[in-house]
Structure 1
Amino acid sequence: MGNIHLLPHTAFSLSRWDAFIAASPQRMVYAYSWYLEVVSPQWQALVLEEEGIWKAIMPLPVQKKWGLNVVQQPFYCQFLGIFTTSSVELTSVQTAFLEALSTHFRYVSSYSGRFLGEQLPPQFERQRCCTHLFPLDTPYPTLRQRYSPDRRMNLRRAQNFGWELQESREIAPLIQLFQENHAANIQGGVAETAYKLLRKVEEALRQQNAARIVYALKDGKIEAGALFAVHDQRIIYLFNAASPVGRKGNARTLLIDQLIQTYASSGYIFDFESPEKASIASFYASFGAQPEQYSVLHYNNLPFPLKQIQAYRRRKASPLV
């Protein structure tokens, strides 16, 4: 195996990077340079190179803390991981990349990816998480039969509620819906910087023709909405919100169902990007979506007492399961 180098993203051609991601079996919208530059402007990469040819790459969302470069998974970027050529087995390079990660960085607050196998280098803590995937590989009537009976019933209720669905290029109403109906329920609140970042993410997706915003209106008023990222044969349910009227009328069920209808038989994958909340995961599973596991890694080799402080904060904020 060749050498793994740590490089700032300014050290290589971004078009070369994006071409590698596009050809990788693990390709994912989050890993393209134009997406990383929005969610992690200081991103770096581990690159496995053999005789001038890239064999595998690992994007790293890096930020500065306490005068150190640390790795932390950014908002609106569920997972990254290692991306290989079709001729390289992920399992053959995974350990080497993770060893390099812990060599170059003293603190990995969180790093998400599809890391295979039970054994990882012992210096890493691992939190197992799931997203939910729904392959759009058959005609819509067959896909709909995969919904649970309750989901089909709620879909009929939504269809009888009198919703008007409307595509839009404006994300502001969606953010306002979230601020008015969801933000207060999030522990610690939501910083304005998170909304600013979401606007930038949507703009970057739109420039790639990869953004779809759909609203549900009742009597001319927006009551629910969703932002979908559509890229590389994958539809990601990236952000959504609903008012009490939207929830009562099952508007989000209708929004999701309409996208499923549109892309039925396309071979796309609908990715619900599930949070670690049982009630939401259950809602997504009711569409017939199946869980896919990924891992969130943590590594702490900070000097004392920073190590103790950060370990305490992370346990308090998100206990390992």
Structure 2
Amino acid sequence: MIKRLKYQEIDFEKYNRCIENSVQKKFYAERIFLDISTDKNWELLVYKDYEAVMPVPLIKKYGSQIVHNPKLCQQLGVFSKIDSLQINDLFYHFLTKNYAIRYYTFNDINALSESLITRKNFLIFPDKYETVRQKYSPKRKRKLRLDQEVLDNSEIVKNFDLETVKNFIRSTGLGADAKDLEEFINLLSKFYLNDKLDFYGFFYHQKLINMIAVYREKYSLALLGTFNDRNYVKLSGSSYLIDKVISENIETKIFDFEGSEVPAVEEFFRGFRPELRPYSCIQVSKKDLILKITKKLFFLN
């Protein structure tokens, strides 16, 4: 019923058609996103003749291939024309039986019989900008009313010099592990160079003080990063940038905030009054994962 395909065995014409016509459609499952974020290290579970599909990202860890969502890939799961509890359960059981899983997420549409951990995500669905902005919290509306001096001495610049982008991320990524930060910068750069991501910068007196990274698909936009010079936090440049992108796109595209488990970040997102759309995930501790891999190797021997 469920077939497991290696990357080179995937019929991408059928896969792309399934994603395009799916009720769960997410840019995370688009081939270009997965190819870049996993370096083409992903497999596919297929129901019948691509009636439903489940992409499975892999990483090499503990001497084995394990399932782990790549950086910036929030939701995967099952994609099909009609979301089916029965079919989703088939995929779930096949996945958990045949793979060692560290972290895997389903999407916010997928219905499952299993009770899994849930995480938060926030979306604004297409509507007239005036209607969307009217829903903003009073605090967010105040933050968007910039002083005249700031208006006179600031500008929004889209897709400026990539080295400036990288250096700004490094300078504002306080507390981040250096290796993880460079991997994050490299991934954003690859999306940008493949024409899938835009950087918006808020310049004040010609100095870059805020920047956002927005992934772009024809049906949605996703906020993959927000970067701020803490010396100018009161100017609310990030709010201004996000509102700018929303104003230019919200009539035809979903705006995806990518969610957060950090209370301060969640509060910031909620100021735009998005809809809460939780999604389910499988998360296995390192200890339990190593135990499963060890048992598998024992039985193979």
For 1:77, the equivalent position in structure 2 comes to 73
Cα deviation code 1:30-66 (max 9, x no counterpart): 11122111111210011111xxx21100000112223
For 1:150, the equivalent position in structure 2 comes to 139
Q: CA RMSD in A?
A: 2.4
Q: How does 1:1-321 map to 2 (within 5 A)?
A: 3-40=1-38, 41-49=40-48, 53-84=49-80, 86=81, 88-105=82-99, 107-114=100-107, 116-117=110-111, 119-120=113-114, 126-138=116-128, 140-157=129-146, 161-162=150-151, 163-168=154-159, 170-182=161-173, 184-186=174-176, 190-204=180-194, 206=195, 210-264=196-250, 266-299=251-284, 302=289, 304=291
Q: 1:176 to 1:46 in 2, by over 3 A?
A: same
* TM-score, structure 1 normalization: 0.82
Secondary structure of the 1:215 match is: strand
Aligned length, in residue pairs:
289
Secondary structure of the 2:51 match is: strand
Cα deviation code 1:101-152 (max 9, x no counterpart): 01211x211001226457317xxxx3211111112312x2222110111110
For 1:317, the equivalent position in structure 2 comes to none
Q: Distance in 2 between matches of 1:32 and 1:201?
A: 13
Q: Distance in 2 between matches of 1:256 and 1:94?
A: 35
Secondary structure of the 2:104 match is: strand
Quote the offset at 1:272 in angstroms.
0.6
Quote the offset at 1:203 in angstroms.
2.3
Q: Distance in 1 between matches of 2:237 and 2:148?
A: 9
Percent identical:
22
Cα deviation code 1:73-99 (max 9, x no counterpart): 110111111101x2x433121110011
Quote the offset at 1:299 in angstroms.
4.6
Q: 1:23 to 1:144 in 2, by over 3 A?
A: same
Quote the offset at 1:27 in angstroms.
1.4
Amino acid at match of 2:94: A
Amino acid at match of 1:82: V
Quote the offset at 1:267 in angstroms.
3.6
Amino acid at match of 2:205: D
Quote the offset at 1:188 in angstroms.
7.8
* TM-score, structure 2 normalization: 0.87
Secondary structure of the 1:136 match is: coil
Please tell me whether the aligned partners of residues 188 and 197 of structure 2 are also in contact (alpha carbons under 8 angstroms). no
Please tell me whether the aligned partners of residues 85 and 113 of structure 2 are also in contact (alpha carbons under 8 angstroms). no
- Dislocated runs of 4+, deviation >4 Å: 115-118, 299-303
Q: 1:217 to 1:188 in 2, by over 3 A?
A: closer
Q: Distance in 1 between matches of 2:147 and 2:126?
A: 22
